[in-house]
Structure 1
Protein backbone atom coordinates (compact mmCIF):
# COMPACT_ATOMS: atom_id res chain seq x y z
CA UNK A 1 0.00 0.00 0.00
CA UNK A 2 2.71 2.49 1.01
CA UNK A 3 4.90 1.60 -1.95
CA UNK A 4 2.04 2.00 -4.37
CA UNK A 5 1.15 5.38 -2.89
CA UNK A 6 4.78 6.49 -3.16
CA UNK A 7 4.87 5.57 -6.84
CA UNK A 8 1.60 7.36 -7.55
CA UNK A 9 2.67 10.65 -6.03
CA UNK A 10 6.37 10.88 -6.80
CA UNK A 11 7.10 14.53 -7.61
CA UNK A 12 9.02 15.44 -10.73
CA UNK A 13 12.62 16.24 -9.67
CA UNK A 14 13.64 19.88 -9.65
CA UNK A 15 16.36 19.13 -12.18
CA UNK A 16 13.76 17.83 -14.63
CA UNK A 17 11.72 21.02 -14.24
CA UNK A 18 14.78 23.15 -14.92
CA UNK A 19 15.64 21.00 -17.94
CA UNK A 20 12.09 21.36 -19.26
CA UNK A 21 12.19 25.15 -18.90
CA UNK A 22 15.60 25.27 -20.58
CA UNK A 23 14.27 23.18 -23.45
CA UNK A 24 11.29 25.49 -23.89
CA UNK A 25 13.59 28.51 -23.84
CA UNK A 26 15.78 27.00 -26.55
CA UNK A 27 12.72 26.16 -28.67
CA UNK A 28 11.38 29.70 -28.23
CA UNK A 29 14.65 31.48 -29.03
CA UNK A 30 16.01 29.18 -31.75
CA UNK A 31 13.88 30.57 -34.64
CA UNK A 32 15.61 33.97 -34.40
CA UNK A 33 18.85 32.20 -35.32
CA UNK A 34 17.28 30.16 -38.12
CA UNK A 35 16.24 31.12 -41.60
CA UNK A 36 13.03 32.75 -42.80
CA UNK A 37 11.32 29.38 -43.22
CA UNK A 38 12.04 28.43 -39.60
CA UNK A 39 10.70 31.80 -38.46
CA UNK A 40 7.55 31.27 -40.50
CA UNK A 41 6.89 27.90 -38.86
CA UNK A 42 7.64 29.41 -35.45
CA UNK A 43 5.07 32.19 -35.97
CA UNK A 44 2.40 29.68 -37.02
CA UNK A 45 3.25 27.50 -34.02
CA UNK A 46 2.93 30.41 -31.58
CA UNK A 47 -0.43 31.43 -33.07
CA UNK A 48 -1.66 27.84 -32.86
CA UNK A 49 -0.69 27.73 -29.17
CA UNK A 50 -2.99 30.68 -28.47
CA UNK A 51 -5.93 29.13 -30.33
CA UNK A 52 -5.46 25.60 -28.95
CA UNK A 53 -5.28 27.04 -25.43
CA UNK A 54 -8.80 28.35 -26.02
CA UNK A 55 -9.95 24.95 -27.25
CA UNK A 56 -8.32 23.29 -24.23
CA UNK A 57 -10.28 25.54 -21.88
CA UNK A 58 -13.55 24.50 -23.53
CA UNK A 59 -12.51 20.86 -23.45
CA UNK A 60 -11.62 20.93 -19.76
CA UNK A 61 -15.14 22.10 -18.99
CA UNK A 62 -16.46 18.85 -20.51
CA UNK A 63 -17.37 20.00 -24.03
CA UNK A 64 -15.70 19.73 -27.43
CA UNK A 65 -16.13 22.34 -30.14
CA UNK A 66 -15.92 21.39 -33.81
CA UNK A 67 -16.39 25.00 -34.85
CA UNK A 68 -13.43 26.61 -33.11
CA UNK A 69 -12.03 27.94 -36.37
CA UNK A 70 -15.27 29.89 -36.87
CA UNK A 71 -14.40 32.05 -33.87
CA UNK A 72 -10.96 32.61 -35.36
CA UNK A 73 -12.80 33.84 -38.47
CA UNK A 74 -15.02 36.19 -36.49
CA UNK A 75 -11.99 37.65 -34.75
CA UNK A 76 -10.00 37.99 -37.97
CA UNK A 77 -12.76 39.59 -40.04
CA UNK A 78 -13.94 41.96 -37.31
CA UNK A 79 -10.37 43.12 -36.63
CA UNK A 80 -9.60 43.69 -40.32
CA UNK A 81 -12.92 45.42 -41.08
CA UNK A 82 -12.58 47.60 -37.98
CA UNK A 83 -9.24 48.83 -39.31
CA UNK A 84 -10.23 49.14 -42.97
CA UNK A 85 -13.66 50.70 -42.43
CA UNK A 86 -13.31 52.56 -39.13
CA UNK A 87 -9.61 53.31 -39.15
CA UNK A 88 -9.01 51.70 -35.76
CA UNK A 89 -5.47 50.85 -34.71
CA UNK A 90 -4.19 47.29 -34.47
CA UNK A 91 -4.59 47.13 -30.68
CA UNK A 92 -8.06 48.71 -30.67
CA UNK A 93 -9.32 46.58 -33.56
CA UNK A 94 -8.00 43.40 -31.94
CA UNK A 95 -9.70 44.30 -28.65
CA UNK A 96 -12.93 45.06 -30.53
CA UNK A 97 -12.71 41.73 -32.35
CA UNK A 98 -12.14 39.91 -29.06
CA UNK A 99 -15.15 41.59 -27.43
CA UNK A 100 -17.43 40.94 -30.43
CA UNK A 101 -16.38 37.29 -30.53
CA UNK A 102 -16.95 36.95 -26.79
CA UNK A 103 -20.46 38.36 -27.17
CA UNK A 104 -21.21 35.96 -30.04
CA UNK A 105 -19.84 33.06 -27.98
CA UNK A 106 -21.91 34.14 -24.96
CA UNK A 107 -25.16 34.20 -26.94
CA UNK A 108 -24.41 30.91 -28.69
CA UNK A 109 -23.13 29.25 -25.52
CA UNK A 110 -26.14 30.32 -23.48
CA UNK A 111 -28.35 28.51 -25.98
CA UNK A 112 -26.39 25.35 -26.74
CA UNK A 113 -24.46 24.54 -23.57
CA UNK A 114 -27.43 22.60 -22.22
CA UNK A 115 -26.59 20.05 -24.89
CA UNK A 116 -24.18 17.22 -24.17
CA UNK A 117 -21.81 15.01 -26.10
CA UNK A 118 -22.35 14.55 -29.81
CA UNK A 119 -25.25 17.04 -29.90
CA UNK A 120 -23.00 19.88 -28.77
CA UNK A 121 -20.33 18.83 -31.27
CA UNK A 122 -22.86 18.81 -34.12
CA UNK A 123 -24.21 22.25 -33.24
CA UNK A 124 -20.72 23.76 -33.13
CA UNK A 125 -19.98 22.12 -36.49
CA UNK A 126 -23.17 23.65 -37.90
CA UNK A 127 -22.20 27.06 -36.49
CA UNK A 128 -18.82 26.81 -38.18
CA UNK A 129 -20.45 26.11 -41.53
CA UNK A 130 -22.94 28.93 -40.96
CA UNK A 131 -20.13 31.43 -40.39
CA UNK A 132 -18.35 30.23 -43.53
CA UNK A 133 -21.51 30.62 -45.62
CA UNK A 134 -22.20 34.10 -44.22
CA UNK A 135 -18.67 35.16 -45.13
CA UNK A 136 -19.18 33.82 -48.65
CA UNK A 137 -22.60 35.38 -49.17
CA UNK A 138 -21.90 38.91 -47.87
CA UNK A 139 -19.20 39.45 -50.44
CA UNK A 140 -19.68 43.26 -50.51
CA UNK A 141 -18.29 43.38 -46.97
CA UNK A 142 -16.16 40.25 -46.63
CA UNK A 143 -14.87 39.87 -50.18
CA UNK A 144 -16.67 36.54 -50.56
CA UNK A 145 -14.58 33.63 -51.81
CA UNK A 146 -11.80 36.05 -52.82
CA UNK A 147 -11.38 37.18 -49.23
CA UNK A 148 -9.62 40.35 -48.13
CA UNK A 149 -6.10 41.11 -49.32
CA UNK A 150 -3.53 43.75 -48.53
CA UNK A 151 -4.03 43.65 -44.76
CA UNK A 152 -1.57 45.98 -43.07
CA UNK A 153 1.07 44.87 -40.60
CA UNK A 154 0.48 44.99 -36.87
CA UNK A 155 1.68 48.19 -35.21
CA UNK A 156 1.93 49.13 -31.54
CA UNK A 157 2.99 52.61 -30.40
CA UNK A 158 4.52 53.33 -33.78
CA UNK A 159 6.52 50.09 -33.89
CA UNK A 160 5.56 47.99 -36.90
CA UNK A 161 5.79 44.21 -36.75
CA UNK A 162 6.45 44.12 -40.48
CA UNK A 163 9.08 41.38 -40.62
CA UNK A 164 8.87 37.74 -39.63
CA UNK A 165 11.43 38.20 -36.87
CA UNK A 166 9.49 41.11 -35.37
CA UNK A 167 6.12 39.42 -35.69
CA UNK A 168 7.51 36.27 -34.08
CA UNK A 169 8.29 38.36 -31.00
CA UNK A 170 4.65 39.50 -30.85
CA UNK A 171 3.30 35.99 -31.50
CA UNK A 172 5.64 34.44 -28.93
CA UNK A 173 4.62 36.98 -26.29
CA UNK A 174 0.93 36.27 -26.95
CA UNK A 175 1.48 32.50 -26.82
CA UNK A 176 3.35 32.73 -23.52
CA UNK A 177 0.73 35.08 -22.09
CA UNK A 178 -2.09 32.68 -23.00
CA UNK A 179 -0.19 29.75 -21.47
CA UNK A 180 0.50 31.75 -18.29
CA UNK A 181 -3.20 32.62 -18.14
CA UNK A 182 -4.06 28.91 -18.28
CA UNK A 183 -1.49 28.09 -15.59
CA UNK A 184 -2.89 30.73 -13.23
CA UNK A 185 -6.51 29.87 -14.01
CA UNK A 186 -6.21 26.17 -13.22
CA UNK A 187 -4.34 26.81 -9.99
CA UNK A 188 -7.21 28.91 -8.70
CA UNK A 189 -10.58 27.67 -7.35
CA UNK A 190 -12.41 28.53 -10.59
CA UNK A 191 -10.07 26.27 -12.56
CA UNK A 192 -10.58 23.45 -10.09
CA UNK A 193 -14.33 23.98 -10.36
CA UNK A 194 -14.12 23.75 -14.17
CA UNK A 195 -12.27 20.42 -13.86
CA UNK A 196 -14.86 19.20 -11.36
CA UNK A 197 -17.65 20.03 -13.80
CA UNK A 198 -15.94 17.98 -16.50
CA UNK A 199 -15.32 15.01 -14.19
CA UNK A 200 -18.87 14.71 -12.86
CA UNK A 201 -21.44 17.40 -13.80
CA UNK A 202 -24.17 15.94 -11.58
CA UNK A 203 -21.92 15.81 -8.52
CA UNK A 204 -20.63 19.33 -9.22
CA UNK A 205 -24.20 20.64 -9.48
CA UNK A 206 -25.21 18.95 -6.23
CA UNK A 207 -22.16 20.53 -4.54
CA UNK A 208 -23.42 23.99 -5.36
CA UNK A 209 -21.46 24.66 -8.55
CA UNK A 210 -23.29 26.09 -11.56
CA UNK A 211 -22.35 23.78 -14.41
CA UNK A 212 -23.91 26.03 -17.03
CA UNK A 213 -22.15 29.18 -15.84
CA UNK A 214 -18.75 27.52 -15.56
CA UNK A 215 -19.06 25.97 -19.01
CA UNK A 216 -20.28 29.28 -20.39
CA UNK A 217 -17.27 31.05 -18.88
CA UNK A 218 -14.93 28.46 -20.42
CA UNK A 219 -16.66 28.70 -23.78
CA UNK A 220 -16.58 32.51 -23.93
CA UNK A 221 -12.96 32.84 -22.84
CA UNK A 222 -11.86 29.96 -25.08
CA UNK A 223 -13.53 31.56 -28.10
CA UNK A 224 -12.00 34.94 -27.21
CA UNK A 225 -8.54 33.33 -27.34
CA UNK A 226 -9.43 31.93 -30.76
CA UNK A 227 -10.40 35.45 -31.88
CA UNK A 228 -7.03 36.83 -30.79
CA UNK A 229 -5.26 34.08 -32.70
CA UNK A 230 -7.38 34.75 -35.78
CA UNK A 231 -6.76 38.52 -35.65
CA UNK A 232 -3.01 38.00 -35.35
CA UNK A 233 -3.02 35.46 -38.17
CA UNK A 234 -4.77 37.95 -40.44
CA UNK A 235 -2.07 40.55 -39.74
CA UNK A 236 0.71 38.06 -40.30
CA UNK A 237 -0.52 36.43 -43.51
CA UNK A 238 -1.97 39.68 -44.89
CA UNK A 239 -4.91 37.80 -46.38
CA UNK A 240 -8.05 36.10 -45.09
CA UNK A 241 -10.82 34.13 -46.78
CA UNK A 242 -13.62 31.82 -45.60
CA UNK A 243 -11.53 28.78 -46.51
CA UNK A 244 -8.81 29.96 -44.12
CA UNK A 245 -11.13 28.95 -41.28
CA UNK A 246 -12.94 25.84 -42.50
CA UNK A 247 -13.84 22.69 -40.56
CA UNK A 248 -10.53 21.08 -41.51
CA UNK A 249 -8.77 23.77 -39.46
CA UNK A 250 -10.99 22.97 -36.45
CA UNK A 251 -10.18 19.27 -36.77
CA UNK A 252 -6.47 20.05 -36.94
CA UNK A 253 -6.74 22.07 -33.73
CA UNK A 254 -8.50 19.16 -32.01
CA UNK A 255 -5.74 16.79 -33.14
CA UNK A 256 -3.11 19.14 -31.66
CA UNK A 257 -5.01 19.25 -28.39
CA UNK A 258 -5.47 15.48 -28.09
CA UNK A 259 -1.92 14.57 -29.08
CA UNK A 260 -0.45 17.27 -26.87
CA UNK A 261 -2.69 16.45 -23.92
CA UNK A 262 -6.12 17.97 -23.40
CA UNK A 263 -6.01 17.77 -19.58
CA UNK A 264 -2.60 19.37 -19.22
CA UNK A 265 -1.83 23.08 -19.33
CA UNK A 266 1.24 22.20 -21.38
CA UNK A 267 -0.75 20.08 -23.84
CA UNK A 268 -1.61 22.87 -26.32
CA UNK A 269 2.00 24.03 -26.34
CA UNK A 270 3.36 20.53 -26.96
CA UNK A 271 0.73 19.68 -29.56
CA UNK A 272 1.31 22.89 -31.52
CA UNK A 273 5.10 22.50 -31.46
CA UNK A 274 4.92 18.89 -32.66
CA UNK A 275 2.17 19.16 -35.27
CA UNK A 276 2.42 22.65 -36.80
CA UNK A 277 5.55 21.83 -38.88
CA UNK A 278 4.12 18.51 -40.12
CA UNK A 279 2.16 19.87 -43.11
CA UNK A 280 5.45 21.18 -44.48
CA UNK A 281 7.06 17.76 -44.07
CA UNK A 282 4.11 16.17 -45.89
CA UNK A 283 3.84 18.87 -48.57
CA UNK A 284 2.55 17.21 -51.74
CA UNK A 285 1.44 14.13 -49.81
CA UNK A 286 -1.77 15.18 -48.07
CA UNK A 287 -3.10 11.63 -47.80
CA UNK A 288 0.08 10.56 -46.04
CA UNK A 289 -0.41 13.42 -43.59
CA UNK A 290 -3.95 12.26 -42.80
CA UNK A 291 -2.73 8.68 -42.33
CA UNK A 292 -0.05 9.92 -39.92
CA UNK A 293 -2.59 11.96 -37.96
CA UNK A 294 -4.94 8.99 -37.72
CA UNK A 295 -2.20 6.60 -36.62
CA UNK A 296 -0.85 9.11 -34.09
CA UNK A 297 -4.31 9.64 -32.59
CA UNK A 298 -4.90 5.90 -32.23
CA UNK A 299 -1.52 5.33 -30.56
CA UNK A 300 -1.85 8.31 -28.23
CA UNK A 301 -5.40 7.39 -27.15
CA UNK A 302 -4.41 3.77 -26.62
CA UNK A 303 -1.04 4.03 -24.89
CA UNK A 304 -0.79 7.64 -23.68
CA UNK A 305 -4.31 9.02 -23.12
CA UNK A 306 -2.88 12.02 -21.30
CA UNK A 307 -1.03 13.08 -24.44
CA UNK A 308 2.64 13.82 -25.03
CA UNK A 309 2.62 16.34 -22.17
CA UNK A 310 2.38 13.39 -19.76
CA UNK A 311 5.68 11.87 -20.90
CA UNK A 312 7.85 13.61 -18.24
CA UNK A 313 5.53 12.42 -15.45
CA UNK A 314 5.48 8.90 -16.91
CA UNK A 315 9.26 8.91 -17.17
CA UNK A 316 9.57 10.08 -13.54
CA UNK A 317 7.37 7.22 -12.39
CA UNK A 318 9.34 4.67 -14.39
CA UNK A 319 12.71 5.87 -13.10
CA UNK A 320 11.47 6.03 -9.49
CA UNK A 321 10.14 2.50 -9.79
CA UNK A 322 13.49 1.30 -11.11
CA UNK A 323 15.37 3.03 -8.28
CA UNK A 324 13.15 1.40 -5.67
Structure 2
Protein backbone atom coordinates (compact mmCIF):
# COMPACT_ATOMS: atom_id res chain seq x y z
CA UNK A 1 0.00 0.00 0.00
CA UNK A 2 1.34 3.45 -0.91
CA UNK A 3 2.16 5.84 1.93
CA UNK A 4 -0.47 8.60 1.99
CA UNK A 5 1.54 11.08 4.07
CA UNK A 6 5.27 11.70 4.35
CA UNK A 7 6.81 11.10 7.81
CA UNK A 8 7.52 14.84 8.10
CA UNK A 9 3.90 15.74 7.31
CA UNK A 10 2.59 13.10 9.72
CA UNK A 11 4.89 14.32 12.51
CA UNK A 12 3.71 17.91 12.01
CA UNK A 13 0.08 16.73 11.95
CA UNK A 14 0.47 14.87 15.25
CA UNK A 15 2.25 17.84 16.83
CA UNK A 16 -0.58 20.18 15.82
CA UNK A 17 -3.24 17.68 16.87
CA UNK A 18 -1.85 17.57 20.41
CA UNK A 19 -0.97 21.28 20.70
CA UNK A 20 -2.89 21.94 23.87
CA UNK A 21 -3.25 25.46 25.22
CA UNK A 22 -4.15 26.82 28.64
CA UNK A 23 -7.92 27.35 28.94
CA UNK A 24 -8.65 24.17 26.90
CA UNK A 25 -10.50 21.44 28.80
CA UNK A 26 -9.93 17.72 28.39
CA UNK A 27 -12.32 14.96 29.39
CA UNK A 28 -11.49 11.36 30.30
CA UNK A 29 -13.53 8.16 30.04
CA UNK A 30 -13.86 8.09 33.86
CA UNK A 31 -15.95 11.28 33.78
CA UNK A 32 -13.26 13.76 34.78
CA UNK A 33 -12.87 17.25 33.32
CA UNK A 34 -9.43 18.86 33.56
CA UNK A 35 -8.48 22.44 32.69
CA UNK A 36 -5.21 22.60 30.74
CA UNK A 37 -2.67 24.84 32.50
CA UNK A 38 0.42 24.62 30.29
CA UNK A 39 0.91 24.58 26.51
CA UNK A 40 2.02 21.46 24.66
CA UNK A 41 2.91 18.15 26.29
CA UNK A 42 5.33 16.97 28.96
CA UNK A 43 6.37 13.29 28.78
CA UNK A 44 3.40 12.66 26.50
CA UNK A 45 0.97 14.19 29.00
CA UNK A 46 -1.19 17.31 29.00
CA UNK A 47 -0.48 19.31 32.16
CA UNK A 48 -3.78 20.27 33.74
CA UNK A 49 -5.86 20.48 36.91
CA UNK A 50 -9.06 18.62 37.77
CA UNK A 51 -12.05 20.98 37.77
CA UNK A 52 -15.18 18.77 37.50
CA UNK A 53 -16.17 15.20 38.38
CA UNK A 54 -19.20 13.46 36.89
CA UNK A 55 -21.15 12.35 39.94
CA UNK A 56 -24.19 10.27 38.96
CA UNK A 57 -24.74 12.20 35.73
CA UNK A 58 -24.12 15.64 37.25
CA UNK A 59 -20.87 17.56 36.99
CA UNK A 60 -19.56 18.57 40.41
CA UNK A 61 -16.96 21.37 40.59
CA UNK A 62 -13.78 20.62 42.52
CA UNK A 63 -11.89 23.01 44.78
CA UNK A 64 -8.10 22.59 44.82
CA UNK A 65 -7.80 20.48 47.97
CA UNK A 66 -10.89 18.50 47.05
CA UNK A 67 -9.49 17.70 43.58
CA UNK A 68 -6.17 16.54 44.99
CA UNK A 69 -7.87 14.35 47.61
CA UNK A 70 -10.21 12.84 45.00
CA UNK A 71 -7.36 11.89 42.69
CA UNK A 72 -5.24 10.50 45.52
CA UNK A 73 -8.12 8.21 46.47
CA UNK A 74 -9.52 7.23 43.07
CA UNK A 75 -7.05 8.06 40.29
CA UNK A 76 -3.51 8.60 41.67
CA UNK A 77 -2.09 7.98 38.18
CA UNK A 78 -3.31 11.49 37.21
CA UNK A 79 -1.19 13.13 39.92
CA UNK A 80 2.04 14.45 38.42
CA UNK A 81 5.26 16.19 39.35
CA UNK A 82 6.46 18.54 36.59
CA UNK A 83 10.27 18.89 36.50
CA UNK A 84 9.87 21.87 34.17
CA UNK A 85 7.60 23.79 36.54
CA UNK A 86 9.02 22.15 39.69
CA UNK A 87 5.43 21.77 40.85
CA UNK A 88 2.85 19.15 41.75
CA UNK A 89 -0.20 19.26 39.49
CA UNK A 90 -2.26 16.89 37.36
CA UNK A 91 -1.52 15.34 33.96
CA UNK A 92 -3.36 13.15 31.45
CA UNK A 93 -1.70 10.91 28.84
CA UNK A 94 -2.94 11.87 25.38
CA UNK A 95 -4.26 8.35 24.69
CA UNK A 96 -6.52 8.65 27.75
CA UNK A 97 -8.23 11.82 26.52
CA UNK A 98 -11.77 10.96 25.48
CA UNK A 99 -12.78 14.48 24.40
CA UNK A 100 -11.07 17.81 23.93
CA UNK A 101 -13.05 21.00 24.57
CA UNK A 102 -11.69 23.97 22.58
CA UNK A 103 -12.76 27.55 23.40
CA UNK A 104 -12.86 28.86 19.81
CA UNK A 105 -15.10 26.06 18.60
CA UNK A 106 -17.49 26.54 21.51
CA UNK A 107 -17.85 30.30 20.97
CA UNK A 108 -18.42 29.77 17.25
CA UNK A 109 -21.15 27.24 18.06
CA UNK A 110 -22.90 29.70 20.40
CA UNK A 111 -22.70 32.55 17.89
CA UNK A 112 -24.19 30.36 15.13
CA UNK A 113 -26.88 28.61 17.20
CA UNK A 114 -30.53 29.63 17.41
CA UNK A 115 -31.37 28.28 20.86
CA UNK A 116 -29.63 29.62 23.95
CA UNK A 117 -29.95 29.51 27.71
CA UNK A 118 -29.71 32.84 29.64
CA UNK A 119 -25.91 32.84 29.89
CA UNK A 120 -25.50 31.91 26.21
CA UNK A 121 -27.81 34.80 25.29
CA UNK A 122 -25.47 37.13 27.18
CA UNK A 123 -22.49 35.58 25.38
CA UNK A 124 -24.27 36.24 22.08
CA UNK A 125 -24.99 39.85 23.10
CA UNK A 126 -21.38 40.42 24.11
CA UNK A 127 -20.10 38.87 20.90
CA UNK A 128 -22.32 41.12 18.78
CA UNK A 129 -21.18 44.23 20.68
CA UNK A 130 -17.53 43.30 20.12
CA UNK A 131 -18.17 42.68 16.43
CA UNK A 132 -19.74 46.15 16.16
CA UNK A 133 -16.44 47.51 17.51
CA UNK A 134 -14.59 45.80 14.66
CA UNK A 135 -13.54 42.62 16.50
CA UNK A 136 -13.08 39.43 14.47
CA UNK A 137 -14.30 36.66 16.76
CA UNK A 138 -12.44 33.91 14.86
CA UNK A 139 -9.51 34.48 17.24
CA UNK A 140 -11.69 34.59 20.37
CA UNK A 141 -13.05 31.66 22.40
CA UNK A 142 -14.92 30.94 25.60
CA UNK A 143 -13.66 28.84 28.50
CA UNK A 144 -14.76 27.98 32.03
CA UNK A 145 -18.11 26.40 32.76
CA UNK A 146 -19.64 27.54 29.46
CA UNK A 147 -16.95 25.72 27.46
CA UNK A 148 -17.94 22.37 28.92
CA UNK A 149 -21.68 23.10 29.16
CA UNK A 150 -22.01 23.11 32.95
CA UNK A 151 -22.88 26.79 33.36
CA UNK A 152 -25.49 27.99 35.84
CA UNK A 153 -27.66 31.12 35.84
CA UNK A 154 -25.08 32.99 37.93
CA UNK A 155 -22.01 31.90 35.96
CA UNK A 156 -19.52 34.42 34.62
CA UNK A 157 -18.36 34.62 30.99
CA UNK A 158 -14.67 33.85 30.43
CA UNK A 159 -13.45 34.96 27.00
CA UNK A 160 -10.05 33.90 25.63
CA UNK A 161 -8.19 35.96 23.01
CA UNK A 162 -5.62 34.11 20.90
CA UNK A 163 -2.81 36.52 20.11
CA UNK A 164 -1.57 39.64 21.86
CA UNK A 165 -2.86 42.03 19.19
CA UNK A 166 -6.34 40.47 19.31
CA UNK A 167 -6.40 40.75 23.11
CA UNK A 168 -5.45 44.42 23.20
CA UNK A 169 -8.00 45.25 20.49
CA UNK A 170 -10.61 43.49 22.62
CA UNK A 171 -9.55 45.47 25.71
CA UNK A 172 -9.87 48.70 23.72
CA UNK A 173 -13.32 47.61 22.49
CA UNK A 174 -14.47 46.90 26.08
CA UNK A 175 -13.20 50.29 27.23
CA UNK A 176 -15.05 52.03 24.37
CA UNK A 177 -18.26 50.11 25.07
CA UNK A 178 -18.13 51.11 28.75
CA UNK A 179 -17.69 54.76 27.74
CA UNK A 180 -20.67 54.38 25.39
CA UNK A 181 -22.65 52.83 28.29
CA UNK A 182 -23.34 49.71 26.22
CA UNK A 183 -21.35 47.70 28.74
CA UNK A 184 -21.14 48.49 32.44
CA UNK A 185 -18.20 48.75 34.81
CA UNK A 186 -18.39 46.57 37.91
CA UNK A 187 -20.40 48.00 40.81
CA UNK A 188 -19.04 47.94 44.36
CA UNK A 189 -20.90 44.70 45.11
CA UNK A 190 -19.42 43.09 41.97
CA UNK A 191 -15.89 44.13 42.96
CA UNK A 192 -16.45 42.73 46.45
CA UNK A 193 -17.61 39.40 45.02
CA UNK A 194 -14.64 39.32 42.63
CA UNK A 195 -12.28 40.04 45.52
CA UNK A 196 -13.87 37.30 47.62
CA UNK A 197 -13.41 34.75 44.82
CA UNK A 198 -9.80 35.70 44.24
CA UNK A 199 -8.89 35.29 47.93
CA UNK A 200 -5.67 37.20 47.22
CA UNK A 201 -3.03 38.73 49.48
CA UNK A 202 -3.85 42.37 48.65
CA UNK A 203 -6.22 44.59 50.57
CA UNK A 204 -9.61 45.17 48.94
CA UNK A 205 -8.64 48.77 48.11
CA UNK A 206 -5.36 47.68 46.49
CA UNK A 207 -7.12 44.93 44.55
CA UNK A 208 -9.71 47.29 43.04
CA UNK A 209 -7.10 50.01 42.36
CA UNK A 210 -5.10 47.63 40.19
CA UNK A 211 -8.08 45.96 38.51
CA UNK A 212 -9.86 49.13 37.37
CA UNK A 213 -7.04 50.11 35.04
CA UNK A 214 -6.80 46.75 33.25
CA UNK A 215 -10.07 46.90 31.22
CA UNK A 216 -10.12 43.11 31.03
CA UNK A 217 -13.44 42.70 32.82
CA UNK A 218 -16.85 44.38 32.75
CA UNK A 219 -20.58 43.59 32.93
CA UNK A 220 -22.91 42.64 30.09
CA UNK A 221 -26.62 42.57 30.94
CA UNK A 222 -25.68 42.38 34.63
CA UNK A 223 -23.30 39.43 34.13
CA UNK A 224 -19.55 39.72 34.73
CA UNK A 225 -17.13 38.73 31.99
CA UNK A 226 -13.34 38.50 31.86
CA UNK A 227 -10.80 38.60 29.03
CA UNK A 228 -7.65 36.50 29.04
CA UNK A 229 -4.79 36.12 26.57
CA UNK A 230 -3.17 33.05 25.07
CA UNK A 231 -0.20 33.65 22.76
CA UNK A 232 -0.04 30.52 20.54
CA UNK A 233 3.21 31.62 18.88
CA UNK A 234 5.06 31.37 22.21
CA UNK A 235 4.01 27.85 23.17
CA UNK A 236 7.47 26.34 22.65
CA UNK A 237 9.75 24.50 25.05
CA UNK A 238 10.47 25.71 28.55
CA UNK A 239 13.56 25.51 30.72
CA UNK A 240 13.53 23.72 34.04
CA UNK A 241 13.76 25.92 37.12
CA UNK A 242 14.39 24.83 40.69
CA UNK A 243 12.70 26.49 43.65
CA UNK A 244 15.13 28.20 46.03
CA UNK A 245 13.33 30.23 48.70
CA UNK A 246 10.49 32.72 49.26
CA UNK A 247 11.45 36.29 48.48
CA UNK A 248 9.95 39.78 48.80
CA UNK A 249 11.52 42.47 46.67
CA UNK A 250 10.99 46.07 45.55
CA UNK A 251 11.98 46.61 41.92
CA UNK A 252 11.07 48.58 38.79
CA UNK A 253 9.32 47.16 35.72
CA UNK A 254 11.36 47.60 32.52
CA UNK A 255 9.33 45.52 30.02
CA UNK A 256 5.58 44.84 30.29
CA UNK A 257 4.99 43.42 26.78
CA UNK A 258 3.92 40.05 28.23
CA UNK A 259 2.06 41.45 31.25
CA UNK A 260 -1.27 39.95 30.11
CA UNK A 261 0.12 36.63 28.81
CA UNK A 262 -0.29 33.29 30.49
CA UNK A 263 1.95 33.10 32.35
CA UNK A 264 2.47 36.84 32.75
CA UNK A 265 6.09 37.96 32.47
CA UNK A 266 7.51 41.25 33.74
CA UNK A 267 11.16 42.08 33.09
CA UNK A 268 12.65 44.00 36.02
CA UNK A 269 15.62 46.19 36.85
CA UNK A 270 17.73 44.06 39.17
CA UNK A 271 21.36 42.93 39.20
CA UNK A 272 20.67 39.22 39.82
CA UNK A 273 17.01 38.57 38.97
CA UNK A 274 15.79 38.95 35.37
CA UNK A 275 12.02 38.92 35.61
CA UNK A 276 8.81 38.04 37.41
CA UNK A 277 6.70 35.13 36.12
CA UNK A 278 3.08 35.06 37.26
CA UNK A 279 0.80 32.00 37.04
CA UNK A 280 -2.22 33.49 38.82
CA UNK A 281 -4.80 35.61 36.98
CA UNK A 282 -5.08 38.07 39.88
CA UNK A 283 -1.74 39.63 38.94
CA UNK A 284 -2.10 39.52 35.15
CA UNK A 285 -1.63 43.02 33.74
CA UNK A 286 -0.80 44.19 37.25
CA UNK A 287 2.07 46.59 36.46
CA UNK A 288 3.37 48.60 33.52
CA UNK A 289 6.67 49.98 32.27
CA UNK A 290 8.47 52.28 34.69
CA UNK A 291 6.36 51.40 37.73
CA UNK A 292 7.92 50.48 41.05
CA UNK A 293 6.42 47.31 42.49
CA UNK A 294 6.64 45.18 45.58
CA UNK A 295 6.66 41.51 44.61
CA UNK A 296 6.43 38.51 46.90
CA UNK A 297 6.91 35.03 45.50
CA UNK A 298 9.28 32.10 45.07
CA UNK A 299 12.84 32.64 43.83
CA UNK A 300 13.82 30.05 41.20
CA UNK A 301 17.02 29.32 39.26
CA UNK A 302 17.75 27.31 36.11
CA UNK A 303 20.83 25.27 35.18
CA UNK A 304 22.49 28.32 33.60
CA UNK A 305 22.18 30.25 36.86
CA UNK A 306 19.44 32.61 35.61
CA UNK A 307 16.98 33.58 38.34
CA UNK A 308 13.37 34.73 38.33
CA UNK A 309 10.56 35.20 40.85
CA UNK A 310 7.41 33.12 40.48
CA UNK A 311 4.10 34.48 41.73
CA UNK A 312 1.66 31.58 41.79
CA UNK A 313 4.13 28.86 42.78
CA UNK A 314 1.10 27.06 44.21
CA UNK A 315 -2.45 27.14 42.87
CA UNK A 316 -3.66 29.37 45.73
CA UNK A 317 -0.52 31.60 45.71
CA UNK A 318 -1.11 32.46 49.36
CA UNK A 319 1.21 35.24 50.50
CA UNK A 320 2.39 35.88 46.92
CA UNK A 321 1.51 39.13 45.15
CA UNK A 322 2.52 42.02 42.90
CA UNK A 323 1.63 45.51 44.15
CA UNK A 324 2.41 48.83 42.46
CA UNK A 325 3.81 51.23 45.04
CA UNK A 326 4.90 54.09 42.75
CA UNK A 327 3.45 54.73 39.29
Tell me the TM-score range normalised by the shorter chain: under 0.3
TM-score normalized with structure 1 length: 0.26
Higher helix share: 1
If asked which structure has higher relative contact order (CA below 8 Å, sep 6+), I would say 1
Q: Normalization by structure 2: what TM-score?
A: 0.25
Bigger fraction of residues in strand = 2
